[in-house]
Chain A
Amino acid sequence: MSDAPVIEAARPAGRVLPVTDLSLVVLIGASGSGKSTFARRLFKPTEVISSDFCRGLVSDDENDQSATKDAFDVLHYIAGKRLAAGRRTVVDATNVQPEARRQLIQLAREHDVLPIAIVLDVPEPVCAERNAARVDRADMPRRVVQRHTRELKRSLRHLEREGFRKVHVLRGVAEVEGATVVTEKRFNDLTHLTGPFDIVGDIHGCSNELEALLGKLGYVDGVHPEGRTAVFVGDLVDRGPDSPGVLRRVMSMVESGNALCVPGNHENKFGRYLRGRQVQHTHGLAETIAQMDGESEEFRERVRKFIDGLVSHYVLDEGRLVVCHAGLPEKYHGRTSGRVRSHALYGDTTGETDEFGLPVRYPWAEDYRGRAAVVYGHTPVPTATWLNNTICLDTGVVFGGKLTALRYPERELVEVPAERVWYEPVKPLVGEAPGGHQGRPLDLADVHGKRIVETRHAGRIAVREENAAAALEVISRFAVDPRLLPYLPPTMAPTATSKGDARGGAADEHYLEHPAEAFAQYAAAGVERVVCEEKHMGSRAVALVCRDAAAARERFGVDGPTGSLYTRTGRPFFDDEQVTEEVLGRLRSAIGGAGLWEELDTDWLLLDGELLPWSLKAGGLLRNQYAAVGAASGAVFPGALSALEAAGSRGVDVSALLDRQRERAADAGRFTQAYRRYCWSTEGLDGVRFAPFQLLAGQGRSLAGVPHDAQLAWLDRLVEADGSGLLRSTGRLLVDTGDAASVAAGVDWWLELTGQGGEGMVVKPLGAVVRDAEGRLVQPGVKCRGREYLRIIYGPEYTRPDHLERLRQRHLGHKRSLALREYALGLEALDRLAEGEPLWRVHEAVFAVLSLESEPVDPRL
């Protein structure tokens, strides 16, 4: 196992010492043996930490022996930090005492790097002479060096047993001075191999399925015509019908350079059997042994060597890919220790056993946040799915499942079904993906603190700790049951601010938001077809409607409610459960009447919409803020205006002031009119309206990517089928952003809508989930709010030119980014829900949306 690539050519003269690129190198030698000189000559200055230097750091005196303990604390600390960061470290201290070395070996093990000893065995008189020549050590007693030398001699024989994985002993001054170091890569470091790879899951002796899979992947007799490399995640043997056949195939591919292979726990045990160790013939080993009976001794020897030579995990593709049998946390990637090997082979267990007597595996992938994709096997799952950039490829072929391969970097799965059940599983395969059992209750670690959420549509999205803290409070204290909260709507950015130039015609100098900007924005993103949808002014509401209580129980695990109706922060829309059920009942019969249960083949639907009137939910806010401002302004202006008029009639020059107050009074009146349009009295559900604008998901399917014309067609059918008067339809207009006439029609439509007091409209790409030329998500919609409506947002007098001019200085960047991040998280929640992922996975994305909602962004956007 010493055929590692040599990176640095060895210099001819003297000893050549191989030293692994990530290791803890411990120099051992008496004071004066030349360790510092040796280290200076052969290692980078920053690689070397000397005890003398550390003594100086803590005491200002490199020879202050009373500072030794503190100095070594510092030395260990620095060495630990370097090793944690993956940097080779050389310890320059006498290290002649076993206790000193024990601590360093411990440190190496803690960081899973190889401890390497280099002994400088220089005669005692030479050391003493050198010390005497140094001013700072001139008064060092001779006996100190004598003791060092004695201790060194005593230590020599034990170094390997102490735990050093390599021991280089340099005897005499000449050998020390003539020695050179070559840096060796670790065996697991194949970062220079960039694939492409086909990574194959656990085979367990299913050679027919293996051949079928290799064929499907395009291999011809173990060779891929395009030069792809197969990577086997181990567990080639045991349980299945033809372990020797599988070994033969894999070994020849590895030997010919067409494949890599990491060992599984079954190879490990089989290897011990082949070496003649006592092992139990359980878990399918007996089958393999029986099959090997017919094989030659030569073949057995070849297998033994093959298994002995397997490296427990590989780091590939410049560090972007890690392959091992049982999964590996990031801190073990590329490390070398018994712990890493055992982790790679067996995975982490909690120490408990489950009801089948099998060890409970620690869900390490749930915690995984590393950059490298980790591809592994070991735990049979029904289907391979990505989880935090990790994927388990063991799909239980030997138990009658399938054999799965992952094309990398394409990330495509290629599968071959099992020909039959080759081996009865101890426990059923269903349900338990590694890292997420269906029934696990939500854990704080799923949501708390700073988090990164992996999304299909926008990669990794970060959630800050303070935002998660606020979301935790709201979800815990106010939200509906998380099982009935599978989605939260994203925020939406407004259209670009109207600049008051001529884009929308001369009149747009009066506008803060104008649809011309929205159309231009989408045209610039390459979106030709957009749909303008009337914006209903009420409160955002998400409805989860189950066909009946049984469907709610089966799919969402709740007993009683048939769904939920909640606000954009997840709070129940109505305090009274009966009212909620009444709304759900009306929605249910509309869905049934429209035939959508059958058409979408689902027994539940998630709808996004607006619940009206605004005064229903925002009553408190309306009275305390909006109506209050209206009342205050209504009370003050009559008196103020008549006082000014009286002063004016006395000849005091107040005309400009008076004119301005008249305009302000008129603006205040328009403000009152503006909010009044969104208020009306309701009694029970009388007067309550729900305007759905998207079907989000049903069983097995996210509907968020369905184009909006198809969405609106569904919604129209819903409204039509609603006999209760609850549902309200949404006005819409299709616009071609490249056609001036169509754009003008869109502007006119908006002017008409808002002229009648409408809130405005939302402009959405017709294709729903759309990317621009660079592949970035475009905004899923922008809102374009009416001039009068905006008084509710920017204040009664915002239209005054001096105000408008300042209000145009608004920055949309953060809002747009927030809208896209929340959108991607919302889509992620829907995808996870549709794919039947565990509750915590859905909740993670939902929680992240709420967290982001508490990010500081101008609330008026």
Chain B
Amino acid sequence: MFLTITTTGTPENPATDLGFLLHKHPDKAQLFSTSYGTAYVFYPEATEERCTAALLLEVDPVALVRRGRGKGRGGAPDSALAQYVNDRPYAASSLVAVALSAVFSTAMKGQCNARPELPSRPLPLRVEIPSLPARGGPDLVTELFEPLGWTVQVRPVPLDTAFPEWGDSRYVSLTLESATLTVAQALRHLYVLLPVLDDAKHYYVSADEVDKLLRAGESWLAGHPEHKLITSRYLSRRWSLTQKAMDRLETEREELARLAEADDTAVEEIDNAVDPDTDTEERPVPLAVRRREAILEALRDRRAARVLDLGCGQGQLVQALLKDTRYREVVGVDVSMRALTIASRRLRLERMGERQASRVRLLQGSLVYTDNRLKGYDAAVLSEVIEHLDLPRLPALEYSVFGSARPRTVVVTTPNVEYNVRWESLPAGHSRHGDHRFEWTREEFRAWADSVAARYGYDVEYRPVGPDDPEVGPPTQLALFTLCADTGGEKHAGPATPARSDNDREEAAA
């Protein structure tokens, strides 16, 4: 909400020229209405030697929230803005950048009719921003400003001095100094980089944002070593989505957001079924490709034609199955509506031809409930699914898949935790994904799969996926279950209680 720009001067070039440059008289306090509150410009000091202009933006928090109501109808897309407890009234956020461009638009363009020679003259400048949200931390702040000719001083702000164990906040106090830049350049740098550091835009990114960025970044952005990060953050990851698609996603998020709120947790903690880092069409992860190949091979071996992809996520496997006409029916099931929406878009379901569309269905379902819709299929795939379930709930999945849906073939893949030591980027003891509730060794996986197979009347074989390391095995392990011919119609045991694997065998034998 607050920043100052200071310059120093001499009798020949008095510091108060800043007033001309900014088009704001140093002896007055002026106010300007912007869309999110009132901006004030005043000068704490204004002498020939030293002149400071201050911008104070008073954000109206009530209006901010009330405007946020009814997402997709011109409201705030960022759920954080729907909170009354909000940093916007205090931090130098993207709202301040908007205010800068509104209040100092002429200065930003480098125009000054009264003193046309002034704008192009570099000045000794000092910019102070006491409360700047900086996602990426102090280092990123330095990396962003230093290449532009600023001397950067960043001081992190602690979260709460009463709780030193909480560490630093995401805010920093920033001081920039330079003698080689013009005021217009300084303003443009701030205009672009404040939102980049804030990384939470307060309005929809629209097509003209690209123009705005190009205009403000003209002459400096292209040569900036971090220009990729600046561009992508400024336009944010969502820019390629159409407005409509995004509205839909946000609407789906709302129900989950409310449940998160009921629990005092961040929505990201539960709305995390879609991992932005998993493989996408544009950027396939090699192991994911190997895994898909292994699954397709297993399905081909078992001559499956009607296939369930249980926990289909964003639909990569469904897509691969549809490319092969031997799969007459492909059903993707996921518990996350968000994942299904993305899968549906990936598959272009709405635009798919009738014949193709009749082969595929996406359903919301849950593997800890039995589901009559899933009965009677040739095969079911559980690819990287079981490890997302808490261990005590695994028996419910076993019953619903092997006991109730009971396809002829079941393919299960899961990480081999032994292989984790071969991942260079993975710190020791960490699992591969934040939502993994467990990762198994080969022995653990086989013990589980053997007991499930015995209990429900399946045969099971194991296949490696990815390079089979002689010491730690393959990165992914695959179990291929086949319904025993002689038990196909017979009654099988009910759901087992969540006993550990040793007891399981005895139960199966009993």
Contacts and interface: CB of A to CB of B under 8 A. Distances in A.
B61 interface: yes
B498 A795 contact: no
Contacts of A558: 497-498
B112 interface: no
A629 B42 contact: no
Contacts of B373: 444
Interface in B256-273: 256, 258-259, 261-266, 269-270, 273
B130 A640 contact: yes
A806 B44 CA distance: 33
Given A443-B370, A798-B84, A474 B270 contact: yes
Interface string B300-332: 000000000000000000000000000000000
A633 B255 contact: no
Contacts of B89: 633, 664, 795, 797
B171 interface: yes
A643 B3 CA distance: 10
A639 B128 contact: yes
A187 interface: no
A620 B159 CA distance: 12
Size class of the A contact interface (CB-based, 8 Å): 35 or more
A471 interface: yes
B170 interface: yes
Given A442-B369, A624-B266, A639-B2, A470 B169 contact: no
Q: Is the interface of A mostly helix, strand, loop or mixed?
A: helix
Contact of A620 (B269, B389, B499): B269
A679 B92 CA distance: 27
B392 A635 contact: no
Nearest to B66: A806
Interface stretch (A287-295, A521-529, A566-574): A566-574
B238 to A, nearest CB: 20
Contacts of A646: 44-45
Interface in B209-250: none
B159 to A, nearest CB: 4
A477 to B, nearest CB: 6
B494 A439 contact: yes
Contacts, number: 260
A467 B252 CA distance: 10
Nearest to B258: A854
Interface stretch (A161-169, A493-501, A652-660): A652-660
B44 A557 contact: no
A568 B263 contact: yes
B160 A477 contact: no
What is the predominant secondary structure among interface residues of chain B facing chain A? mixed
A627 B261 contact: no
B400 A441 contact: yes
Contacts of B371: 443-445
B48 interface: no
Contacts of B254: 854, 856
B34 interface: no
Nearest to A853: B262
B259 A632 contact: no
B45 A650 contact: yes
Contacts of B266: 620-621, 624
Interface string B1-26: 11010000000000000000000000
A647 B54 contact: yes
A803 B61 contact: yes
A631 interface: yes
Contacts of B388: 477
Given A672-B160, A859-B261, 17 more contacts: A466-B255, A470-B255, A473-B336, A473-B337, A476-B367, A481-B393, A481-B396, A559-B497, A617-B265, A621-B266, A625-B83, A625-B85, A627-B163, A629-B85, A631-B159, A633-B131, A661-B56
A668 B270 contact: no
Interface string A783-825: 0000000001111111000010011000000000000000000
Contacts of A491: 262
A500 B399 CA distance: 59
B157 interface: yes
A643 B42 CA distance: 9
A444 B90 contact: no
Contacts of A447: 369
B256 A441 contact: no
A623 B380 CA distance: 43
Contact of A647 (B29, B133, B366, B367): B29
Interface in A661-708: 661, 664, 668, 671-672, 676, 679, 681
A626 interface: yes
A312 B388 CA distance: 52
B62 interface: yes
B462 interface: no
A653 B388 CA distance: 62
B44 A643 contact: yes
A469 interface: yes
Contact of A621 (B28, B166, B265, B400): B265
Contacts of A473: 256, 270, 273, 335-337, 366
Given A442-B369, A443-B369, A639-B128, A627 B87 contact: no
A803 B62 contact: yes
A9 B335 CA distance: 61
A441 B367 CA distance: 12
Nearest to B264: A618
Given A676-B160, A796-B85, A854 B43 contact: no
B231 to A, nearest CB: 26
Given A477-B273, A558-B498, A653 B29 contact: yes
Interface string A460-497: 00000011011111111110111000000001000000
Nearest to B397: A476
B40 interface: yes
B406 to A, nearest CB: 13
A617 B265 CA distance: 8
Which of A477, A633, A644 has the most CB atoms of chain B within a 10 A radius of its CB? A477
Contacts of B86: 629, 795
A850 interface: yes
A636 interface: yes
Contacts of B263: 539, 567-569, 571, 617
Contacts of B366: 444, 472-473, 475-476
Cβ-closest 8 pairs across A and B: A470-B255, A795-B84, A646-B44, A631-B169, A854-B255, A636-B131, A618-B264, A635-B131
Contact of A627 (B84, B91, B130, B169): B169
B255 A467 contact: yes
Interface string B353-370: 000000000001111111
Given A807-B62, A850-B259, A441 B495 contact: yes
A620 B265 contact: yes
B165 interface: yes
A855 B262 CA distance: 11
B94 interface: no
A309 interface: no
Contacts of A98: none
A646 B336 CA distance: 56
B130 A638 contact: yes
Contacts of B85: 625-626, 629, 671, 792-793, 795-796
Contacts of B162: 676
A157 interface: no
B46 interface: yes
Given A470-B259, A559-B498, A854-B256, A623 B264 contact: no
